[in-house]
Chain A
Amino acid sequence: MLKVNNLRVGFTSGKRLLAAVDGISFAIAKGETFALLGESGCGKSVTAQGIMRLLPTAGRVLGGSVAMEGENLLALPEADMRAWRGGRMAMIFQEPATSLNPVLTVGQQIGEVLERHLGMTGAAATGRMVELLRQVGIADPERRLNEYPFQFSGGMKQRVMIAIALAGEPELLIADEPTTALDVTVQAQILDLLVRLQAERGMAILLITHDLGVVARMAHRIGVMYAGELVEVASREAFFSQPRHPYTQALFKALPDMSRRGQRLTTIPGQVPSLAAMPTGCRFAERCARVMPVCREQSPVWRDEQSHAVRCHWQEAVVDADVVGVGHEITDLSVSAGKEFLQVADLKVHFPIRKGLLQRTVGHVRAVDGLSLAILPGRTLALVGESGCGKTTVGKALLQLIPPTEGSVLLGGQPLVGLRGARLRSARRHMQMIFQDPFASLNPRLRVGEIIAEGMDALAVVGDARSRRETVAALLAQVGLPEEAIDRYPHEFSGGQRQRIAVARALAVQPSLLICDEPTSALDVSVQAQILNLLKKLQSELGVAYLFITHNFAVVEYLAHDIAVMYLGRIVERGRAEEVLRTPKHPYTQALLSAIPLPRLEGSTAVIRLSGETPSPANPPSGCHFHPRCPHAMDVCRSRYPESVDVTATQRVSCHLLS
């Protein structure tokens, strides 16, 4: 139905025209889901924008054709193209929060499409809108039509976006990372919805994503993009059973999961070449483990076998799963459980909500509401939970960056809460933090050397300038960066390298605990693998403990010794990693685990689907916070918060089912 042929899209940069998408061809049949997979910056979104002719001002279609039902879209005048957009082809975007117009009601925004493409107005349109909202699973659609986007939660906004897309009765839906901004449980709902709608309408979907799990769950056929080119196109079965391009293979190996625990992850060295400096031969040559001399000279051509096309000079079949880089043991799984050195008891962080004539405090956002945990030296505790459950706040409260409202934090037996000045400073030496966004966590105006030395100066770790420079150089070496980095500025480094600098900065004061707040969620899979390897290596060499804050279970499975699962400011289940992952006891943990799309053929066997979304911490449900969404909720759950129960010596769960 849709045929993209040799499409090339470029951007003007100064006087030059750089091709961001360089000759890609694929076709999508009716009722089929074609997934475009690739890391950030490889041109996935630009491809979609090129097909819709929605390029930003600097973008130009340089060549090729896009044909839908035989009609060449690129040749249409703009006015005719508008009839296609939103009509026979529709698009949904990554950020539901910003993609809806905040000052128009949901009804107005859907109605616009009905009026534009179907000429429907008045009562007919209202009826249709109600029907559409019902189809995408929004309760009470009559009332909801007159509400504004800010009155909807993230997942509901994405549902509204889908309703808008469906309104024009499209034959092709382009979904650009439709679930990346959503929580796993909500992601599962949206993916289910898309599958259902596709089955009902026989719609074709062009799904753009970077997540192999989502691909495995959704796609019929998959195209892998690298640096503006397609490098492999295959059916789902062929793709997951036998990826053939070295890049695809490396991507799979870079994925962390349980089966790789204790092993080094395979990383892809180097970075994607920049648009301005594309190599002439194979674009992956610089990073490829199979590279041959011919690769650097000739761009490989397509080889097509049983609907599995690859663009690579390397012809052998995959022999051994670990050819690309031999994994080896680095840490022992059973680090001895020594004495706890950080104990948190009943920690609460409440942010006041002010209102009224005198701005009295009328309530609190209970970001953290009675949390207890303990961290053992040299081990990794993963704190998992969905967005807004208070994970980051816990990390900051431990470091006393946010003063806790209540509760105690004991560091080696010494209380931290309420410490001030020099004593707080000396206590902080034992704990440091690594942040999520490597671009916001380094001051762009300071040199790398100054950044790393900052903590040492503040905590008076080293004295004179010479020895300080040596220490900084040693730290950089430890995280795998050259000494020259000292005199350069952060903007000269890539995301992964910046995260290394942040690690070096934290290590400079020789802490025994590193609080890592989603340190890899802003990074691509291949770079994430590098950072995870680094963290593992450092743990085995230096014996640091990690408090690893994340929502990514794959990383947890790979890295964690202990796991604590958080829901709405409280820990609902904690225990050793094996226990929590293999035999989850709390319904929320169970649902969370089953909602994760696995990057395997047999991965999508999820059974438990949660309805709704995490409630606001300003107004948590009574009793067990989870009861509105819990499939096992009982009467007692609505009235009383469950005590925590020891299931085993190490696993504790807060649920009435177990008491």
Chain B
Amino acid sequence: MINFQPVVLWSDIFVWLLVLCAVVFALAVRRREHLRQPWVKLAANRIAMASATVLLAFVLIGLFDSLHYRVALEGKPGQKTQYAVEVLSVLDALATPLRTRNEKTYSEPFATRLYAKETVDVPGQGTVREYPRLKYGGKHLAEHEDEVAADAGFTAFRAGALAFLGWLAVAGVVSGVVGHGEAPGTGWQRIWRGETAFAWDAVLVALALMLLVAVPLFWLSGQYHVFGTDKVGQDVLYQILKSVRTGLIIGLVTTLVMLPMAVLLGIVAGYYRGWVDDAIQYIYTVLNSIPGVLLIAAAVLMMQVVIDTNPQWFSTAAERADLRLLALCFILGITSWTGLCRLLRGETLKLRELEYIQAAQAFGVSSWRIIIRHILPNLMHIVIIALVMDFSGLVLAEAVLSYVGIGVDPTMTSFGTMINNARMELGREPVVWWSLTAAFAAMFILVLAANLFADAVRDAFDPRAA
């Protein structure tokens, strides 16, 4: 029994707060017919549901990575327990083999040997320069190093078959639920003819693809470094998994922190007009006229000074990196709220001239009540669209910012830091291509899914698109 101490990082709070908001929002929507309508439309959209399935997988990884703890160190009984400085997450625990089996330096995907020659003492032959065997990658092959392809292929095939069986089970349960109370088999038929209100066919296809890729990958990762290792010998697959949380936080928390401000200021400016409007417009024109990167650069540099001059605030490195991540979210939020704010202001200006608002004014309903009852609910669709549309842009921006050195803390794994580290090695001959490729590919899948989902959300929520 390992003792551990739960650690709650600030970003964890935001992540779970976000989950809570989503649940509360979903419950509120369920009860109201007219709010549910666009969601129903979304649920019938195949592309949306397929990309949502993919996104959900990413979110699950991110959530597992957002439960942190510190392991208790072995101590003498009676003494106060000491905890390790290293903060781990549930994901780390699940991926312990990936996390701990570090090689010495670079190795190619599925390699059994390092990527660099080393001088080794071979008993009986003196010192030789050769590519040394990896400590973990392909260890089980022992002498049969040349059988990697066959071994990996066979393992992948077995895992794929298992994945298929698992998928069949899921599909069976789903069709059972869909065709509940009807003749057996109707559920299955209805799904594949696309007759269900929820696009189950798309979800199942996406799930099948994901299972067929993921299960063999993880199976193989027990024996090989499927995506290779990086400069310090860390498994690239593990880094990808860790990057997911960073990307999600940047994409979601940023919007969360800017949302209240954008909504409040946008509505107030549009509703009250006059000098309030002038003041708010002035603020966002000023913020807008500073090129985003520079504002972020300036703010992050200053943030770094604050962090560096106050080391006593943080008990672990993780906490420090976490704070920097949150600071980045806030700064990105501040630079990006102007767009939404302007949009909401314009829409409020239009809404306030609508006759039902005038009717409410004629009754002497107070301004705040009008804003909350009449204006806010009629702007919700814009907020939702903005939320999903911004996500992919922010994930991409993180990579660029981290490259410039004003992104997340260099010790924090993210797509940006991965790319930044790997970039240096492009000049090498032969090229170290795998961590770069893996990071770009993972980011591409995440962003593509988000973009497709955002498109569908816009179609479902935008009244003009109807």
Interface residues of A (CB under 8 A from B): 396, 399, 401, 424-425, 428, 431-433, 435-437, 440-446, 451, 454-455, 457-459, 489, 491, 502, 505-506, 509
Contact = CB atoms under 8 A, between A and B. Distances in A.
B358 A396 contact: yes
B373 interface: yes
Contacts of B365: 454-455, 457-458
A284 B458 CA distance: 40
Nearest to B360: A454
B362 A401 contact: yes
Contacts of B374: 443, 445-446
- Most chain A beta-carbon neighbours within 10 Å: one of B358, B359, B366: B359
B42 to A, nearest CB: 16
B31 interface: no
10 contacts: A399-B362, A440-B355, A441-B355, A442-B356, A445-B377, A445-B378, A446-B373, A458-B360, A458-B363, A458-B365
B297 to A, nearest CB: 36
Given A442-B356, A489-B34, 8 more contacts: A432-B362, A440-B354, A440-B355, A441-B354, A441-B355, A444-B378, A458-B363, A458-B369
A506 B359 CA distance: 8
B5 interface: no
A451 B355 CA distance: 13
Query: B35, B360, B363: which has the most chain A beta carbons within 10 Å?
Result: B363
B358 A401 contact: yes
A451 B373 CA distance: 10
B274 interface: no
B400 to A, nearest CB: 38
B100 interface: no
Q: Sorted from nearest, which 6 A-B pairs have the closest CB atoms?
A: A425-B364, A441-B355, A435-B355, A455-B363, A445-B377, A458-B363
Contacts of B369: 458
A417 to B, nearest CB: 16
Contact of B356 (A432, A443, A458, A491): A443
A196 B366 CA distance: 57
Contact of B362 (A433, A436, A440, A442): A433
Given A454-B363, A458-B365, A459-B363, A433 B378 contact: no
Contacts of B373: 443, 446, 454
B459 to A, nearest CB: 15
Contacts of A506: 359
A404 to B, nearest CB: 15
B119 interface: no
B34 A445 contact: yes
Given A436-B355, A445-B34, A489-B34, A459 B364 contact: yes
B359 A505 contact: yes
Contacts of B33: 489
A435 B364 contact: no
B34 A435 contact: no
Given A443-B374, A445-B34, A445-B377, A428 B358 contact: no
B463 to A, nearest CB: 10
Nearest to B366: A458
Nearest to B380: A445
A506 B356 CA distance: 12
Nearest to A456: B363
Nearest to B377: A445
A377 to B, nearest CB: 20
Contacts of B34: 444-445, 489, 491
A506 B362 CA distance: 10
B440 to A, nearest CB: 38
Nearest to B375: A443
A601 B358 CA distance: 43
A288 B124 CA distance: 110
Interface string B339-371: 000000000000000111011111111100100
A401 B354 CA distance: 12
Contacts of A436: 355
A428 B356 contact: no
A457 B373 CA distance: 13
A547 to B, nearest CB: 13
Residue of B33, B355, B378 most packed against chain A (CB within 10 A) = B355
Nearest to A425: B364
A435 B363 contact: no
A458 B359 CA distance: 12
B81 to A, nearest CB: 55
Nearest to A506: B359
Nearest to A517: B355
Contact of A424 (B354, B359, B364, B377): B364
Nearest to B378: A445
Contacts of A435: 355, 358-359
B364 A433 contact: no
A440 B364 CA distance: 19
A196 B378 CA distance: 50
A342 to B, nearest CB: 15
B67 to A, nearest CB: 37
A142 B354 CA distance: 42
B235 to A, nearest CB: 49
Contact of A443 (B35, B361, B362, B378): B378
Given A446-B373, A489-B33, A458 B355 contact: no
Given A445-B34, A445-B377, A509 B355 contact: no
Nearest to A437: B355
Contact of B364 (A428, A445, A446, A491): A428
Nearest to B353: A440
A436 B358 CA distance: 12
A428 B360 CA distance: 11
Contact of A458 (B354, B358, B364, B377): B364
A436 B355 CA distance: 8
A489 B35 CA distance: 11
Among B355, B362, B373, B377: residue with most chain A CB under 10 A: B362
Contacts of B354: 440-441
Contacts of A445: 34-35, 374, 377-378
A429 to B, nearest CB: 8
